Chain A
Amino acid sequence: MKYFRILLLLLVFPLVSATSAHKFYVSITKIEYVKEKSSLQIITKIFTDDIEDVLKQRYDASISLDTKKETEAADEDLKKYLLQKINISVNGKPVKLDYIGKEYDTDMLVAYIEVKDVKELKTIEIENKVLMEMFPEQQNIIHLKTPESRRSLILDKDEPSGKLKFN
């Protein structure tokens, strides 16, 4: 369905295509509110080489993702980084994000994060600053799905957070 709002090329577009002069700096985050589980299920997809670059600069130059050299410490660094850069408020109050884990899909890193005990969703404010300190043109796209609606946000350095109201 109309899930992804924009720039789907990311999923299918190589980092450097045969003809593109510029790399695309974009991540896509899908958030689904599952009411019966009182849960916000978050899946965020980021280019592996971009996130590797930022982790190397911030934490440890030897970090190597999706290779045999990948360490558990790197996973900790990733968790720390994502939880620092992604912040969510539900119904006006900041909520705790649980990092569940990550996997790789071709050249994308796919991270899973959950917010529990969301009994009701009236408003949500999402801040996603992932990679913005590294790439000024970074865009982080958010797709939010609730039982009633689908909404999208495009976040960038000028506007790294956005608020959605329901009902």
Chain B
Amino acid sequence: MRLLNSLFLTALFLVSAAVSAQDETETTKREPGHYNTNRFKQLYEEFSTPNMFRTASGAPGPSYYQQQADYKMDILLDDKNKKISGFETITYSNNSPDILEYLWVQLDQNKRAKDSKSPLIESSDTAPADMAGNFVQNYMDGGFDGGFNILEVKDAKGSPLKYTINQTMMRVDMPKNLMPGEKFVFSIKWWYNINDHVVDRARSGYETFEDGNRGYVIAQFYPRMAVYNDVEGWQNSQFWGRDEFALPFGNFEVNITVPSDHIMDATGELQNRKEIFTKEMMNRYEAAQKSFDKPVLIVTQAEAEAASKNFSTTNRTWKFKAENVRDYAFATSRKYIWDMMAVKMGSGSVMAVSLYPPESNPLWEDWSTRAVASTLKTYSRMTFDYPYSKAISVSAKNQGMEYPMICWNHGRPDKDGSISERTKFGMISVIIHEVGHNYFPMIVNSDERQWTWMDEGLNTFTQYVAEQDFAEEYPEAIAPNKKYPSRRGPAKSIVDYMAGDQSQLAPIMTKGLNTYNFGANAYAKPATALNILRETIMGRELFDFAFKTYANRWMFKHPTPEDFFRTMEDASAVDLDWYWREWFYTTDYVDIGVKDVKKFYVTSKMNKEVKEMIAARGISESDLPPLVYMVEEDSEDFDESMRNEKLGDVKTLNEYIMENIPAEERSKLKQPNYFYKVTFEKPGGIPMPIIVQYTYSDGSSKKVTYPAEIWRKNDEAVGKVVASEKEITKIEVDPDEETADIDTSNNSWPKRKKLGAFDKFKNKTNPD
């Protein structure tokens, strides 16, 4: 009978709930069916089917392949005429199972050709003004022509090859198809006018110092092989100027001829060091290789200043070799100071290096090389031991750009030598960021042309970790700050972007060129999404292992976004499909709050709701099993005496305990006297864990996290019954601002009015 009764009662409650729900939503027409729009469904529709090239686990598959391009180059930099010319021989290996009918070569400098189409895709009908450089190039006859002049393209025997140039891409037609496993050797002779990178804000070019000398930071300067792979075929999407690169790995032998008084560093190992270095430089270099705590000057400021007073008419050739790099770049000037220090890496060591003019001191001598060293340590911990021999930071005005082993960075003192905080932190941050790019995408070689976020997002995330580490290693560099003032990474820093007008937002999974807010979309949002994943969703241990697994799986390979998404799940057993969908495939935002809190009291006296229910079904109270009734504080059944009622006063409950629970276990039972039904709402699209801080009347508090999956069946609101031994005085969602909640006005119960930024400042300035 008792069993029957409870079954009956359960059914009764369910029916009653269903009836009342129907009353509210009764419509004249039956609703149509729908697709599965659950935010927690797996990404089968978004992801491509795994195959022999790329597995479902996110690792390279058994048939994974990548092409190789090896280069031998002779480069001449004409400092007087600001020209660069080169002769290069490319050995292209077809490791794919496909037959190639032609090759695609990238001519990035054609972005600066007179007939470049880059300006044509930028706005606009009512551009109020144009950069002077662009204006001259666009509208004035005889403007600067910085495009490639291709003098010849020949095969290994010296016979001319047919080629076709389409803007920044050149198709080279081979005498016969290139079969799987075959190599094709060909050469290109070229030259171009070097641009002033300060005027046109380019990534490659020269800057002119006040003394008339120039500093050259030279990159994407030679015709470079495009990537051919299983995902894109030829990645020959045009270079419009902002997006970056997709490049195959290869080995380089490069001879660079510059004026004899220039100091240079470049991708790869210097082969003729003994020829180039003086005895003194050699001694200093040997000392630097043993100096793990501070940089050693190879060229001093006095030596750089002395060299700056002349202009050598003779040349000399620096010879470099680099293995397994995807690109090549160099920096050269007679103004450079040069310092280095050693960094322990695995069982060996690598060099942290800086090149900077006297104009960059004081500042660069203190922090550039140390920042490089610190970056290598953090990134190697988060990924893999740095596999190259060195990482170089070059001081260049307005720059922040990365190449294998070498990068250009901004940040110089004022003319009187003073250094503002923003200059110092701007400089340290950009060095950490650009050196960090050695890992993403120079080694974990994702396709930057298509997926900007894969290198910028992952790198900006790791940069945040490295900045915090740098501050711990060098507290004197950041004093009086206690933490490094990172611009990107913390969840709350992305709120303004994610709360923005939807017409100005694009999902992270958008080609970089086509995003509206490039910096926020490709750098800050993915970096923040990863930081939230690490700190709030997965925890550091699971995240770090999975992140490291991804880096190691795809080191010296070409990963896609899916390879990253899959690996992060595969290595952690955390279902992240919902997270990737919401943060990476949509422009949704987070907004979770407390909608309502109802207080309940427990009693053995039947409440009105149940009375009505049983009356409607002709049941009498005696037919029911012993029940514990919940009475809401605002309902008619409530009377003040209930406030003081203890659980022990509820007869039905007491009886049950006496009958069913052995005496020795009764004392272990909890004694909750306060009952709350908390309703959480989710005006934002993104489901996130509900992180709740409950504060009690005695001032103590407890943090509880309900996993994001709590939203799987109701996307708008969910309820939680909280049974507490102490009275709850405050409930706050996301108290530590770790979910990027865009509207915190609904985050607290009881609702509290927060003082806005304006009033806070005003009170601080004029305390009334």
Taking beta carbons and an 8 Å cutoff, which residues of A are in contact with B? 1-9, 11-23, 32, 41-43, 48-49, 64, 66-69, 100-101, 103, 106-107, 112, 114, 136-137, 152, 156-158
Q: Are A14 and B761 in contact (CB under 8 A)?
A: no
Q: Are B400 and A17 in contact (CB under 8 A)?
A: yes
Q: Are B761 and A68 in contact (CB under 8 A)?
A: no
Residues of B within 8 A of A136 (CB): 128-129
Q: How far is the CB of A140 from chain B (nearest CB, A)?
A: 13
Judge if B752 is at the interface, Cβ distance under 8 Å: no
> What's the Cα separation between A67 and B423 when bound, in Å?
10
Query: Which single residue of chain B is at the shortest CB-CB distance from A139?
Result: B128
Given the interface pairs A18-B433, A21-B202, A157-B128, the reply to whether A106 lies near B500 with Cβ below 8 Å is no
> What's the Cα separation between A73 and B434 when bound, in Å?
38
- Max count, chain B CB within 10 A of own CB: residue among A1, A3, A68, A152: A1
> What's the Cα separation between A106 and B42 when bound, in Å?
40
- Max count, chain A CB within 10 A of own CB: residue among B418, B420, B759: B420
Q: Are B743 and A9 in contact (CB under 8 A)?
A: no
Q: Are B756 and A107 in contact (CB under 8 A)?
A: no
Interface residues as binary, B509-552 with A (CB distance below 8 Å gives 1, 0 otherwise)? 00000000111110110000000000000000000000000000
Q: Are B762 and A7 in contact (CB under 8 A)?
A: no
Judge if B244 is at the interface, Cβ distance under 8 Å: yes
> What's the Cα separation between A48 and B426 when bound, in Å?
13
Given the interface pairs A18-B433, A20-B518, the reply to whether A5 lies near B501 with Cβ below 8 Å is yes
Residues of A within 8 A of B761 (CB): 100-101, 103, 112
* Of B400, B420, B494, the contact of A64 (CB 8 Å cutoff): B420
Q: Are A112 and B422 in contact (CB under 8 A)?
A: no
> What's the Cα separation between A24 and B316 when bound, in Å?
41
Q: List 29 A–B pairs whose Cβ atoms lie within 8 Å, in order of A's numbering.
A: A1-B742, A1-B743, A6-B501, A9-B517, A9-B518, A11-B497, A12-B497, A12-B520, A12-B524, A14-B429, A16-B201, A16-B399, A18-B430, A18-B433, A19-B400, A19-B401, A21-B242, A41-B759, A43-B757, A66-B420, A66-B421, A66-B422, A67-B420, A68-B418, A100-B762, A100-B765, A114-B762, A136-B129, A137-B127
Given the interface pairs A21-B201, A68-B418, A69-B418, the reply to whether A12 lies near B765 with Cβ below 8 Å is no
* Of B129, B402, B425, B521, the contact of A18 (CB 8 Å cutoff): B402
Residues of B within 8 A of A156 (CB): 128
Interface residues as binary, B398-421 with A (CB distance below 8 Å gives 1, 0 otherwise)? 111110000000100010001011
Query: Which single residue of chain B is at the shortest CB-CB distance from A19?
Result: B244
Judge if B45 is at the interface, Cβ distance under 8 Å: no
Q: How far is the CB of B480 from chain A (nearest CB, A)?
A: 13
Q: Are A3 and B496 in contact (CB under 8 A)?
A: yes
Judge if B35 is at the interface, Cβ distance under 8 Å: no
Query: Which single residue of chain A is at the shortest CB-CB distance from B127?
Result: A137
Q: Are A20 and B519 in contact (CB under 8 A)?
A: yes
> What's the Cα separation between A100 and B410 when bound, in Å?
34
Q: How far is the CB of A49 from chain B (nearest CB, A)?
A: 7
Q: Are B496 and A32 in contact (CB under 8 A)?
A: no
Closest 3 CB pairs of A and B: A13-B519, A136-B129, A8-B497
Q: How far is the CB of A6 from chain B (nearest CB, A)?
A: 5
Judge if B626 is at the interface, Cβ distance under 8 Å: no
Q: How far is the CB of A27 from chain B (nearest CB, A)?
A: 14
Residues of A within 8 A of B433 (CB): 18
Judge if B241 is at the interface, Cβ distance under 8 Å: yes
> What's the Cα separation between A69 and B434 when bound, in Å?
31
> What's the Cα separation between A2 and B496 when bound, in Å?
9
Judge if B370 is at the interface, Cβ distance under 8 Å: no
Query: Which single residue of chain A is at the shortest CB-CB distance from B421?
Result: A66
Q: Are A14 and B456 in contact (CB under 8 A)?
A: no
Q: Are B519 and A17 in contact (CB under 8 A)?
A: yes
Q: Are B519 and A14 in contact (CB under 8 A)?
A: yes
- Which positions 86-135 of chain B face chain A at CB distance < 8 Å? 126-129, 131
Residues of B within 8 A of A69 (CB): 418
* Of B201, B487, B524, B758, the contact of A112 (CB 8 Å cutoff): B758
- Max count, chain B CB within 10 A of own CB: residue among A11, A49, A114: A11
Q: How far is the CB of B733 from chain A (nearest CB, A)?
A: 16
Q: Are A106 and B485 in contact (CB under 8 A)?
A: yes
Residues of B within 8 A of A137 (CB): 127-129
Judge if B641 is at the interface, Cβ distance under 8 Å: no
Q: How far is the CB of B609 from chain A (nearest CB, A)?
A: 37
> What's the Cα separation between A21 and B203 when bound, in Å?
7
Given the interface pairs A43-B758, A157-B129, the reply to whether A9 lies near B501 with Cβ below 8 Å is no
Q: How far is the CB of B466 from chain A (nearest CB, A)?
A: 14
Interface residues as binary, B743-768 with A (CB distance below 8 Å gives 1, 0 otherwise)? 10100000000001111011001100
Judge if B164 is at the interface, Cβ distance under 8 Å: no
Given the interface pairs A14-B400, A107-B426, the reply to whether A22 lies near B487 with Cβ below 8 Å is no
Judge if B499 is at the interface, Cβ distance under 8 Å: yes
Q: A1-B499, A7-B504, A32-B758 are in contact. List 16 more A-B contacts (CB 8 A).
A: A2-B500, A4-B501, A8-B499, A11-B493, A12-B493, A12-B497, A12-B519, A14-B429, A17-B518, A18-B523, A19-B242, A19-B243, A23-B201, A42-B758, A107-B422, A112-B762
> What's the Cα separation between A121 and B499 when bound, in Å?
25
Query: Which single residue of chain A is at the shortest CB-CB distance from B520?
Result: A9
Q: Are A106 and B520 in contact (CB under 8 A)?
A: no
Q: Are B499 and A14 in contact (CB under 8 A)?
A: no
Residues of B within 8 A of A9 (CB): 497, 517-521, 524
Query: Which single residue of chain A is at the shortest CB-CB distance from B766?
Result: A100
Q: How far is the CB of A111 from chain B (nearest CB, A)?
A: 10
> What's the Cα separation between A70 and B420 when bound, in Å?
10
Q: How far is the CB of B639 from chain A (nearest CB, A)?
A: 39
Judge if B488 is at the interface, Cβ distance under 8 Å: yes
Q: Are B762 and A8 in contact (CB under 8 A)?
A: no
Q: Are B496 and A18 in contact (CB under 8 A)?
A: no
> What's the Cα separation between A69 and B487 when bound, in Å?
24
- Which positions 420-442 of chain B face chain A at CB distance < 8 Å? 420-422, 425-426, 429-430, 433-434, 437
Given the interface pairs A18-B433, A112-B761, the reply to whether A49 lies near B422 with Cβ below 8 Å is yes
Q: Are B496 and A101 in contact (CB under 8 A)?
A: no
Residues of A within 8 A of B766 (CB): 100
Query: Which single residue of chain A is at the shortest CB-CB distance from B420?
Result: A67
* Of B410, B422, B499, B504, the contact of A48 (CB 8 Å cutoff): B422
Given the interface pairs A1-B743, A22-B131, the reply to whether A13 lies near B520 with Cβ below 8 Å is yes
- Which positions 646-670 of chain B face chain A at CB distance < 8 Å? none
> What's the Cα separation between A1 and B271 when bound, in Å?
59
> What's the Cα separation between A81 and B233 when bound, in Å?
56
Residues of A within 8 A of B129 (CB): 136-137, 157
Q: Are B422 and A32 in contact (CB under 8 A)?
A: no
Residues of A within 8 A of B128 (CB): 136-137, 156-158
Interface residues as binary, B344-381 with A (CB distance below 8 Å gives 1, 0 otherwise)? 00000000000000000000000000000000000000
